[in-house]
Amino acid sequence: MVSRAAPAEVPNLRPTPIGTASSFGFGDRIGRATPGHIRALRSSGTTFVPVLAQQSARELERTGRTFTEVLDAATRGAVEAGWTRGFAADADHLRTVDEVLAALEAGFTMLTIDPSAHVDETEGDLDRRLHDLPWAALEDDWPSLRRRHAGAADDATIARTAALLGRALVHVSELARPARDRDVDIEVSIDETATPTTPFEHRFLVVELQRIGVPFTSVAPRFAGRWQKGIDVEGDLDEIRASIAAHAQVAAEHGGYKLSIHSGSDKFSVYPLLVELAPRLHVKTSGTSYLEALRVVADVEPELFRAILDVSRERFAVDRATYELSPVAGVPYDADLDDPGVRQGLHVTFGAVLTHPEVGPALLAALDANPAAYSDVLEGHLGRHLVALR
């Protein structure tokens, strides 16, 4: 096992910020995927900067891991694979100051701040909602805000957007404060809202972030279409194209930061659109590497795979509540890992499987006994992603 001193001894394997260079996030819920991820990087010929350590606070809660353990696993995998080109480390969907501090302490170089709980999507009295905004914390007032955005929208739209995002802005500022003197990248994610982000909402967000002094290198809006876990995008491709183009234009006009694509795995129908329309991208994947691990287990230990299905089936009704899934998502007894509904069902029940006292250790042992098979499937699957994004 690589010690905690390994990154200092191998400078290229100390995670670093990457700024606005296009990048690809390799989530690894298990801690065994990095060698396969690196094989995908090499065989695809991609120029995207790799984020080899990527994990959300929600995933850590469900797996019982820590940010330090995630970064250690990625570093060990990079050493095993002979990787010398460096990488970044993304602490994803951070919701509290304590989570930010834990990520910084572990050495993560990218903080993805998620203010979703503070986005006000209620349909109440707009005048009251506007009056009740934390204007002192925003160091602002309604007349000043209205003048600032008057050229981009009418007063009603500005007011609705301020009510929607005002508290979220304060929350982002609070979470970004501990990183003020640190060399890290910051992403702001509003992709988990009930409705797609409008171009004006995106513009409002970044103008106000710049005004209150929050530096950022990427923003994750919610695009048109249904960007669900583990499957391709559903929806009208013309509408999705128009949405990507509009958000890319906002980014170009306000600093040239990256558009970040959450739930970015397996979105093969839109990768060409992203490459065509957005010159700077960050694409996040996570659960797809877990699903490929299950593919290996299904092949080498079918009885263990059936036990994983049993655990997932029992847990699915609870876990689906915190993810946006298709109505066909589920875990049938005859599960096919290429079936979109099955992929979603298994995608969200990872925590119950990995923390199960018998099934979790058995899954890890199966992967440890078959490392080449796991790297093979990851190289093929993630390599397909990276080739499509060239």
- Which residues are known catalytic residues? 92, 187
Are 173 and 214 in contact, with CB atoms under 8 Å apart?
yes
Neighbours of 172 (CB within 10 A): 25
d(CA 329, CA 310): 15
Contact 317, 302 (CB under 8 A): no
For residue 304, which of 363, 351, 346 has the smallest C-alpha distance?
363
* Beta carbons of 212 and 242 less than 8 angstroms apart: no
Distance CA 189, CA 57 (A): 14
CA dihedral 313, 319, 323, 328 (to 10 degrees): 20
- Spatial neighbors of 364 by CB under 8 A, at least 6 apart, are 30, 32
At 139, list the tokens: 């160091």
Tokens encoding 95 = 């919701």
Distance CA 118, CA 28 (A): 28
Closest CA to 341 of 366, 316, 376: 316
Residues near 380 by beta carbon (within 8 Å), at least 6 away in sequence: 40
State the DSSP H helix or E strand holding residue 71, giving kind and residue range, or none if neither.
helix 67-81
Question: CA–CA separation, 232 vs 388, rounded Å?
Answer: 13
Coil/strand/helix, residue 94:
strand
Residues in the chain: 390
Minimal CA–CA distance to 309: which of 366, 352, 340, 357?
A: 352
Q: What distance in Å separates the CA atoms of residue 219 and residue 210, rounded to the nearest whole number?
A: 13
Return the number of other C-beta atoms located less than 10 Å from residue 322's C-beta: 11
Which secondary structure element, helix H or strand E, spans residue 237, and what is its range?
helix 237-253
